Structure 1
Amino acid sequence: MEREIVCGADIHKRFLIATIHSPDGQKIQARFESDLEGLQLFRNWLLDHDCRKLAVESTANYWQPIYLVVAKDIEFVLANSYQIKHIPGRKTDMLDSEWIAELCLNNLISPPRIFSGEDRDLRALTRTRENYIKMRSQIKNRIHHELESACIKLSSVLSDIFGKSGIHIIRGLLIGKSIEDILKGIPAKTLKANREEIRKAISANISPIQASLLGQLLNSIESFDREIGYIDQQIQTVISKRHGDLEIAMSIPGMGIISASTILAEIGNFADFKTGEQLAAYCGLVPSVYQSAGKLITGHITKQGSPHI
Structure 2
Amino acid sequence: MEDVLRSCCAGLDIHQKVIVACIIRSAEGKKRPEKFFGSFDTTTRGLFDLSDWLTSYEVTHISMESTGVYWKCVWRILQNHFELQLANPRHIKNIPGKKTDMKDAEWIARLTRLGVVPTSFVPPEPIQELRDLTRYRKHLVEDLNREKNRGHMVIQNAGIKLTSVIKDIYGKSGRALLYALVKNRPITETLILECVYTTLRRKVPQLLESLEKQLVEVEETINDYLVPYEEYVERLEEIPGINRRTAAVVLAEVGIDMSVFLSSGHLASWAGASPGNNQSAGKTRSKRVGKGNSYLKKVLAQGALAVSQGKPTRIQAFFFRVRRNAGHKKSVVATVHLLLRIIYRMFSDQSRYDELGESYLKNRKNTLIYNC
- Relative to the length of structure 2, the TM-score reads 0.70
| Structure-1 residue corresponding to 2:12 | 9
Residue deviations 1:183-234 (CA, integer Å, cap 9, x gap): xxxxxxxxxxxxxxxx99x67621322xx32122322211111111011011
Query: Match for 1:64: what amino acid?
Result: K
Unaligned segments of structure 1, at least 5 residues: 181-198
Aligned-partner SS, 2:294:
coil
Among candidates 82, 88, 107, match of residue 99 of structure 1: 107
Contact 1:270 1:279 in 2 (8 A): no
Of 225, 233, 245, 2:212 maps to 225
- Contact 2:66 2:89 (8 Å CA) reproduced: yes
Q: CA RMSD in A?
A: 2.6
The residue aligned with 2:150 is 142
Give the aligned length.
286
User: What does residue 154 of structure 1 align with?
Assistant: 162
- Following superposition, the deviation at residue 109 of structure 1 comes to 0.8
Deviations 1:258-278 (A, max 9, x none): 122112211223422354333
Letter in 2 for 1:261: A
For residues 244 and 19 of structure 2, the distance between their equivalents in structure 1, rounded to whole angstroms, comes to 41
Q: Deviations over 1:125-147 (max 9, x none)?
A: 00011111111111111111111
Q: Which residue of 2 aligns with 1:245?
A: 232
Q: 1:8·1:20 contact (CA, 8 Å) conserved in 2? A: yes
Pick aligned residue for 1:282 from 270, 286, 296? 270
Deviation of residue 297 (structure 1)? 9.1
The amino acid across from 1:278 in the alignment is H
Q: What amino acid sits opposite 1:242 in the alignment? A: Y
Q: CA deviation at 1:161?
A: 1.1
Shifted more, 246-255 versus 154-163: the winner is 246-255
**TM-score, normalization by structure 1:** 0.84
Residues of 1 paired with 2:221 and 2:181: CA distance? 36
Specify the alignment match of 1:307 in structure 2: 294
Q: What is the 5 A alignment of 1:29-178?
A: 29-85=37-93, 88=95, 95-178=103-186
Letter in 1 for 2:197: P
The code of the aligned residue for 2:292 comes to G
Give the Cα–Cα distance (whole angstroms) in 2 for the partners of residues 2 and 308 of structure 1.
35
For 2:284 and 2:85, locate their aligned partners in 1 and report how far apart those are by CA, in whole Å.
Answer: 35
* Local SS of the residue matching 1:28: strand
Secondary structure class of the residue paired with 2:39:
strand
* 3-state SS in 2 of match to 1:161: coil
Letter matched to residue 37 of structure 1: R
Q: Higher mean Cα deviation, 243-252 or 268-277?
A: 268-277
Give the 3 Å change call, closer, same or farther, for CA 293–82 of structure 1 in structure 2: closer
- Tell me the secondary structure at the aligned position of residue 129 of structure 1: helix
Does the 8 Å CA contact 2:12/2:22 hold for their aligned counterparts? yes
Deviation at 1:254, TM superposition (A): 4.4
Determine which of 186, 201, 214 is the counterpart of 1:214.
Answer: 201
- Structure 1 pair 143/32, CA: closer, same or farther in 2 (3 Å)? same
Secondary structure at the aligned position of 1:44 is classed as helix
Q: Is the contact made by 2:6 and 2:112 (CA closer than 8 Å) also made in structure 1?
A: no
CA contact (8 A) 1:147 1:153 kept: yes
The match for 2:323 is none
* CA apart distance, 1:289: 4.6
Percent of aligned positions that are identical: 28
- Structure 1 residues 208 and 3: CA distance shift in structure 2, 3 A: closer
Q: Secondary structure at the match of 1:38?
A: helix
Q: For residues 50 and 150 of structure 1, do their structure 2 counterparts lie closer, same or farther at Cα, with a shift above 3 Å needed?
A: same
The answer for the alignment partner of 1:191 in structure 2 is none
Matched residue, 1:22: 25
Q: Distance in 2 between matches of 1:70 and 1:106?
A: 21
Structure 2, unpaired ranges of 5+: 28-32, 297-372
Corresponding residue SS for 2:122? coil
